[in-house]
Amino acid sequence: MRILTGIQPSGTPHLGNYFGAMRQVCELQEKGESFLFIADYHALTTNPEPRLLRERVFNLALDFIACGIDLDRTVFFRQSAVPEVCELAWILDTVTPVGLLERAHSYKDKIAKGFSPNNGLFSYPVLMAADILLYGSDLVPVGKDQKQHLEITRDLAIKFNNQYGGIFRIPEGYIPEAVAIVPGTDGQKMSKSYGNTIPLFGTEKETRKAIMNIVTDCRGLDDPKDPDSCNVVALFKLFASPEELAEMCERYRAGGYGYGHAKQALFEKMWNYFEPMRRRRAELAADPGYVEEVLRRNGERARSEAEKTLKRVRRAVGLR
Ligand code: ADP
Ligand code: TRP
């Protein structure tokens, strides 16, 4: 089974990204042959500053390798290392009804927020379909927000196959429903757009500061507290054993245990949890040549796979 997913280099990853996406991607490596890429062509739809885009792509590569991407099993590359994907997107464009793209939620949301959309934003799902179909993917793990894009991919693949013969494998989406939403420091969903994140690989000072900023109610040190409605406990749960969690809940209910104590306990748990990954990340950051080489080598591997599909597609549609 071939598993493929892409991730946008959209900024510093946080605990929500780790527990909601990155960890799953690492776990899925056990289940089949994985392709994972950094969606830098897609990132261009927001016209990021070029230097910033380069930095984000590189940092995301460090983050993923540090979090457990197994470079012996997973083809980990930059989307733009395979320009063939743009050619396939163009060919798919010619079987894509405009109405299908006009109905895409993510596009409609951007319009509703007042963005003046470029054509890249409009045809974003077609490039995503090309990403998926180019590598003959069977399973595509994505967040809930990408579900419709996956349906568009399937529609386009079926339409193309009906018109030109069975070239594409029809992929299945995989949306890990069991993943709980990680709350941010203000109790809403943790998200870059809400400014309530705890960064995955922040410095000790940044991490401590973010944790100390978690919103709690105004109960004093001696008061009994409700663990079930507390953001600190909700985050502690991600790292603690059932016994450690039960112990914290007990202390909350008994009183004499302040939110500052709980935050300190959360900080220590989180800091220790990510310690090996943080160390690995620092090693990688100190050897940028190695990371570049990994991305380059994997890009070539992905490209040779892509060329095979594209050759069949070109022949099927009547290009030489
Ligand atoms: P953000 O909201 O910070 O911009 P993204 O939309 O880039 O995050 O999300 C990237 C991935 O991380 C998606 O698969 C998404 O489902 C997951 N994710 C983001 N925030 C959370 C969260 N708070 N809890 C669980 N998963 C999350
Ligand atoms: N659109 C996806 C996101 O924002 C990223 C992405 C691009 C992707 N191409 C893909 C995901 C192909 C899965 C498969 O999260």
CA dihedral 13, 16, 22, 26 (to 10 degrees): 140
Number of Cα atoms under 13 Å in the Cβ half of residue 313: 25
86 in Cβ contact with 41 (< 8 Å): yes
Taking alpha carbons only, the member of 194, 268, 182 closest to residue 231 is 182
Does the Cβ of 143 fall within 6 Å of ligand 1?
Answer: yes
The CA-atom distances, in angstroms, between 161 and each of 135, 151, 158, 170 are: 16, 15, 5, 10
Residue pointed to by tokens 């990155």: 22
| 144 C-alpha to ligand 1 centroid (Å) | 9
The Cα–Cα gap between 296 and 204 comes to 32
Does the Cβ of 159 fall within 6 Å of ligand 1?
Answer: no
Q: The pTM is what?
A: 0.93
Work out whether strand 139-141 and strand 33-38 pair parallel, antiparallel, or are unpaired.
unpaired
Mark whether 308 is an active-site residue: no
Burial class of residue 294, CB neighbours in 10 A (0-12, 13-18, 19+) = middle
Does the Cβ of 193 fall within 6 Å of ligand 1?
Answer: yes
Does the Cβ of 16 fall within 6 Å of ligand 1?
Answer: yes
Mark whether 159 is an active-site residue: no
Give the ligand whose atoms come closest to the C-alpha of residue 196: 1
**Tens of pLDDT along 108-161?**
998 998 888 999 999 999 999 999 999 999 999 988 889 999 999 999 999 999
Mark whether 110 is an active-site residue: yes
- pLDDT tier for residue 97 given thresholds of 50, 70 and 90: very high
- pLDDT tier for residue 210 given thresholds of 50, 70 and 90: very high
| 220 C-alpha to ligand 1 centroid (Å) | 33
